[in-house]
Amino acid sequence: MRGISTLVAAVGVLAACTEAAVVRRTTSTSPSSTTVQAVKATSTASSGSSSACAAVSETLGSDGDSTTPILPSDALACLQSVPLDVKRSSDFIDFIEPYIQFQSTLAYLENPPIGWTLPGVDVLGGLAEIQNNVENGTYQSQWDFEVDLYALVNIFPHDFHFNLPMPLISVFEFQTIEGSLVSVSKDGLSVPDVYFKFDLDWEYLVGGLNWTPSPLVSINGVDIADYLQYITQTTSDYQDPDAIYNQAFSSLAFDYNPFASRGSGSAFVIGGHAYGFSDDSYTYKFANGTTRVFDNIATTSIDFTDIATGQDLFDAVDLPPTEHATSSAAASSITAAPSTTAAASTTAAAASSSPTVSSLAGYPSPIVIHPDGYTSGYFLPNSTIAVLAMQGFVDEFETDENAAFFQQQTIKIFLAAARKAGMTKLIVDLQNNGGGDIFNGFDAFKQLFPTLDPFGASRIRATPEANYFGTIFSAAGVYNTTVNTVYQSQSSLDVNDHAFNSWSAEDPPVTIYGDNFTQELRYNFSDIVTESGTGGINVTGYLSNANPPPQLFSSEDMVILYDGSCGSTCAVFSELMKSQGGVRSIALGGRPQLGPMQGVAGSKGAQVYTYGNIAQVASFLPDALDILKSKGIAAPPLPPAEFIIDIEDPFPLGDTQKLAAGARFNLRNNMHDGDATQTPLQFVYEAANCKLFYTAKDQYEIAGLWQRVSNVAWGGAKCVEGSTVTSDNTFPAGAYDTVPFGQSAYSTVEQPYQPGLIAQKSDV
């Protein structure tokens, strides 16, 4: 066991561990955290203020920073005191609706197919209801309006490609302060309990203290599992209850990068209470009978020096920067480039905070590792089992211009080393892989299956605006490495890898599920224009990489490991690995119940676009229309007004440049080859072949987890009861040997009504 001084140096949690352990051993109910004491001291000083925002300002004082604790009740009252700006809020709805029309899943969300495990949402209907609430006086504050709109776009669709940052939502971060939680099983097969990780640290990092961790059983009298499921489902953009539940906890994979800003990796600590707390302190009960009261806090990075009222806060964050009383900035449109100085300083700051990663905490010494840490390779000792760990398909800060090349090379070097060392089995660990560069996903698949032609087809919602773009750009015919768009027939191949001869051939349109879509579209990896957008790589098997090494591992000798967070590019990669590669999978964690779990549940959409991306496409129209005129081709009629995006004016609320980059929609639906129902994979239930629960040791060293996975995949060890199709709970033989959708897959959370929310189905 490591000594206490070593623990302080290596983990930096001893003080927090000490306090957490001491308070849980006693029955006293007075919080002993120095952070809490600081909060109480500042709140006393500000208790005479008439305004909650003034109280926040006094708490922060002249020396306050983003770590200064604020009473959550003061923070929430400050937000609730912001007066509603009826005109700006109504105009904001009108401004964003044409952008939201590009979201590819609107029809499916409004009436989810069987297999969707959560409530549905009528996004466009919700927008109309929110706008009506703004105009008829239903909302009492700007905060009420922004909470409803934020939930409608960011949460209810459960698609992390669908985002709309709202200014007030990001003013405060509401946090618990007792550290992250973990969900662990005694043997990886029995239903897990919830613990404070600091309690486990005493047993697994220190030891010899006669210390027995006790599970947490309730918060404020609510069963702990029910509590965590509620706070995560109402704040998470993941699309499956088990994946959502996993977000409440920390894990080694989540904290893989020692230089990243992810913190504890626990929505219980930060993120799960986005709308504030019901009280400044909560009561925690443990299985050993101990009851503790722990305080909550809020923090902010906003300068509150000149903020004393709700109106002041509105002026500071909701007014576009050009309209601030102290602003001298020039007016900005959605297509305007960010300030060169600001962009450069942001990039430099991110780059300087992300030095080369040589190893990952809790992981063995790697055979090879990406300089940014998110791709690494390992050999299990005394075996011929290799592990390829990929926590993403892009670097943590998305600032490394060489990240795509390094990932391609890391995988290539790893496979060469595995071949030389005689490795015969491969675990592909995709825990905490939220996607990234789409072409790196295709490349990883091609390195593992060099003889297969990746299908990877998708459909785009064929709105009148999309059809307008496609007709003009296809007819203009400009398609090169400088000017090209997704909305032109030259940029895609059909399902049989043939070129489209016109936009009308690509977008007839095809009517599916009551909505219009393009034909299925595939990438042309032999096209130099397509490859120019691949982050500096040619996908393995094409162009300069046309002759890759032969396949090393057979399908039955590979297994994929998930924790439910796989999405975006990870979902595309996973579909290729399963449907074409025939690779089986194991999912980890999930709700405390037996039975199956989905492994891919972040966003299964195939590509995301920002509002800035689509605005840039629209900015090409004048030149394209000039080309049509020179060719004597008549321009198509304009689409209806509700589909035409405004790229000239700033957003009516907030910082236009931040919103242009942060507001996003899912552009492409991910499609399965040969599916007669033509259902996007986002709405297809796909359980992993097996489920395992985390154990306590998995929180400290990952090699043991990989060994358990190996024992299940190739050694006959058991899966969680009911998570496989085999009668003895062993690993099945085929990638599609999975437990079908059933009642247990549905969420059990009951959400209060908000605009757009549709009651969850119960059919199977």
Transcribe 561-613 into DSSP letters: EE-BB--THHHHHHHIIIIIT--EEEEE--SSSSS--BSB-S---SEEEEHHH
**pLDDT given at position 266:** 87
In what helix (H) or strand (E) does residue 625 lie, and over which residues does it extend? helix 621-631
Q: Which of 294, 268, 301 is nearest to 56 (CA)?
A: 301
Angle separating helix axes 621-631 and 611-619, nearest 10 degrees: 30
What is the CA 134 to chain-centroid distance, rounded?
30
**pLDDT given at position 333:** 65
Which residues make beta-bridge pairs with 718? 730
Pick 368-453+535-605+684-745's CATH classification: 3.40.50.300, 3.40.630.30, 3.90.226.10, 3.40.50.720: 3.90.226.10
Residue the block writes with tokens 């095809």: 510
Looking at beta carbons, which pairs linking 355-361 to residues 24 or more positions away fall under 8 Å?
A: 355/259, 357/257, 357/258, 357/259, 360/252, 360/256, 360/257, 360/258, 360/389, 361/252, 361/255, 361/256, 361/258
**pLDDT given at position 322:** 77
**pLDDT given at position 11:** 22
Q: Do strands 691-692 and 584-588 pair parallel, antiparallel, or not at all (unpaired)? A: parallel
- Burial category of 176 from C-beta neighbours within 10 Å (exposed 0-12, middle 13-18, buried 19 and up): buried
**pLDDT given at position 25:** 26
**pLDDT given at position 7:** 20
Q: How many CA atoms lie within 13 A of 207 on its CB side?
A: 6
Q: Which of 69, 103, 71, 266 is nearest to 756 (CA)?
A: 103
CB-CB neighbours of 37 under 10 Å: 13
pTM (predicted TM-score)? 0.91
Sign of CA dihedral 579, 521, 568, 666: negative
Backbone φ and ψ of 335, nearest 5°: -95, -5
The one-letter amino acid code at 43 reads: S
d(CA 367, CA 385): 13
In what helix (H) or strand (E) does residue 515 lie, and over which residues does it extend? strand 515-517
Domain definitions of the chain by residue range: 4-69+173-317, 368-453+535-605+684-745, 458-528+606-639+667-681
**pLDDT given at position 664:** 98
Mean pLDDT, 10 residues at a time, the chain of 764 residues: 25 27 29 29 35 94 86 97 98 98 98 97 98 98 98 98 98 95 98 96 83 95 98 97 97 75 68 96 98 97 95 96 57 49 35 73 97 97 97 89 96 98 98 96 98 98 98 97 95 97 97 98 95 87 95 98 97 98 98 98 96 97 98 97 95 96 98 97 98 97 98 98 98 98 97 96 90
